[in-house]
Structure 1
Amino acid sequence: MSRYSLMRAIERVSRPEWIVVVLTATLAACAPLPPAANQVTDQTAHQDTHQAAAAGMARAADGPLPVPPNLIALTQSTGQTRLIAATHNQSYWPLSQYFETQRNEAYCSVATSVMALNALGIRRPESTQYPDFPFFSQEDFFRSIDPQVANAARVSREGMTLDQLGTALSAFPVEVRKFHAGDLTLGQFRDLIRDTTSHSDRFALLNFRRVEIGEAGGGHWSPLAAYDAASDSALLLDVARYKYPAVWVPVTQLYAAAQAVDNVSGLSRGIVIVGTRANSN
């Protein structure tokens, strides 16, 4: 409705009807595009797109999607008890201090990376977002990365593969190791998670596909913050916090999710481990 049409309508109606006219016009201006015009295609299997309907899950009207029954949210008492009891939980404390929400639906790799970089306590760059305080931010992440490796425009559309993020992180003063899940046994995969989460100076960044852990969506990145041997599960700090909370996931399901083939690289997903290195401060 144009401004002129709105004013003419207001002149012709009573006060109660006037309120209805204004609300209708306002809601129309804020309404989302029709599904056909607003649909995002997950061709690359990187974007964490909305696939709740396809998975038979209804979106909650006032928050994120419901947590699948095979997962335990950290906000549940069981999830909190598991974190405290876990022997391998040292990654949680620094990561939780810098927990971020990805700034768009394809920036899961970026949000995961800046969480880890800030949590490592290495020298931070100048920040355009916080001029007086050096900080790793999603806005400035690509500043020191070769645009041929990754750039903001491309990643905003496609996300990043395992090898791509590993190479991008090598531009920072950190030690980077990449592991495709297809090259690991379940035992080796579990050992990587257990050993890494036992430290506060290295972090496991998981590239996985949501459907294998019962969630709605495609390829995704998030850090793993703890491992509980009793339940053989790992704590996933989901950077798409508008969609899912932090959850405990059985390692067997994480392994299957990390083995899922990335449509862009044609290789399995997996883990990137980023840690401090000598003279990194």
Structure 2
Amino acid sequence: MSRYSLMRAVGRLSQPEWIVAFVAAALAACAPVPPASSQVAVPPAVIQPAVQPASRADAQATGRPADGPLPVPPNLVALAQPAGQKRLTSSASNQSYWPLSQYFETQRNEAYCSVATSVMALNALGIRRPESTQYPDFPFFSQEDFFHGIDPQVANAARVSHEGMTLDQLSTALNAFPVDVRKYHAADLSLGQFRDLVRATTGHSDRFVLLNFRRVEIGETGGGHWSPLAAYDSASDSALLLDVARYKYPAVWVPLAQLYAGALALDSVSGLSRGIVIIGKRPN
């Protein structure tokens, strides 16, 4: 619409209608633009959506289909696809999947990925559960009660709701629970060592890999994130990521080298690489 046509259209509006139109235009003009630092030099083929959005307008406005989460990048394989299911059933290291899948959770807010990941693993371990305010008649590890018993100087609900947790923070917080906790910064591991830890851990049902990584390194949209790894497939050299942001991405198989790159990415809060925390039952 030309400026002249716009002025004529505005002139035909009543004063309340004119104010609404002006405010709407101003808000549209102030829509935030992603910062340059969030852009990643990924080949175009990596960031093309695997599923075409409902319309070109939807794709430009939201980057996602109108009726669902973000499309899975073509370098990843969704667990729900036949190929993803086949990897799971044929993998020798898939024992973490079964208990974790029983307690799959969605993070309760956009910064609670570490909390959702942790309570999934704690419940899946089958250890003694605490009283739950959410389910008074049933002991259960929940996101609502996660910080009970954790030193607030280490982590607390208010702060984590805005900032999330670093690798060191989460490993320290998990020491408040009756579990064995082992922390590994990716910068201290070779790709082979990283692979060995993932493969060995996912082959058991009584220990779990909690991965801290940056999404852009695996071709997804977003920044730092936590989710558990539930299986490893040697034929494709990929691991199954059970994404706790289920509103955003489904469970996917990710090439291990890309997961390692995501774990190597620096955490802007700690200034250190991300990595993995492995939790399991304490030895008797």
The TM tier, using the shorter chain, reads 0.7 to 0.9
Residue among 247, 253, 264 paired with 1:259 = 264
Distance in 2, matches of 1:199 and 1:81, equals 19
Helix, strand or coil: the match of 1:137?
coil
Matching residue's letter, 1:130: Y
Alignment partner, residue 76 of structure 2 = 71
Alignment partner, residue 234 of structure 2 = 229
Report how far residue 164 of structure 1 moved. 0.3
Report how far residue 60 of structure 1 moved. 1.4
Distance in 2, matches of 1:40 and 1:109, equals 24
- How high is the TM-score relative to the length of structure 2? 0.80
Alignment partner, residue 8 of structure 1 = none
Alignment partner, residue 147 of structure 1 = 152
Tell whether 2:117 aligns with 1:112: yes
Tell whether 2:186 aligns with 1:181: yes
Per-residue Cα deviation, 1:190-249 (whole angstroms, up to 9, x for no partner)? 000000000000000000000000000000000000000000000000000000000000
Per-residue Cα deviation, 1:236-271 (whole angstroms, up to 9, x for no partner)? 000000000000000000000000000000000000
Report how far residue 34 of structure 1 moved. 6.5
Provide runs of 4+ in structure 1 moved above 6 Å. Answer: 37-41
Residue among 249, 258, 264 paired with 2:254 = 249
Matching residue's letter, 2:81: Q
Matching residue's letter, 1:220: H
Helix, strand or coil: the match of 1:111?
helix
- How high is the TM-score relative to the length of structure 1? 0.81
Tell whether 2:174 aligns with 1:192: no
Q: 1 or 2 for the larger relative contact order (CA 8 Å, sep ≥6)?
A: 1
Tell whether 2:60 aligns with 1:81: no
Superposed, 1:14-163 pairs within 5 Å as 36=30, 58-163=63-168
Alignment partner, residue 22 of structure 1 = none
Contact 2:106 2:244 survives alignment (8 Å):
yes
Alignment partner, residue 20 of structure 1 = none
Tell whether 2:176 aligns with 1:171: yes
Report how far residue 274 of structure 1 moved. 0.4
Distance in 2, matches of 1:40 and 1:164, equals 28
Helix, strand or coil: the match of 1:67?
coil
Report how far residue 39 of structure 1 moved. 8.9
Distance in 2, matches of 1:93 and 1:62, equals 29
Matching residue's letter, 1:211: V
Unaligned runs of 5+ in 1: 1-32, 46-54
Distance in 2, matches of 1:40 and 1:140, equals 34
Matching residue's letter, 2:78: A
**CA separation of 1:85/1:167 partners in 2, compared to 1, >3 Å: closer, same or farther?**
same
Q: Count the aligned residue pairs.
A: 237
Distance in 2, matches of 1:39 and 1:148, equals 35
Per-residue Cα deviation, 1:54-100 (whole angstroms, up to 9, x for no partner)? x7861111011000000000000000010000000000000000000
Alignment partner, residue 3 of structure 1 = none
Report how far residue 278 of structure 1 moved. 3.4
Contact 2:48 2:74 survives alignment (8 Å):
no
Alignment partner, residue 50 of structure 1 = none
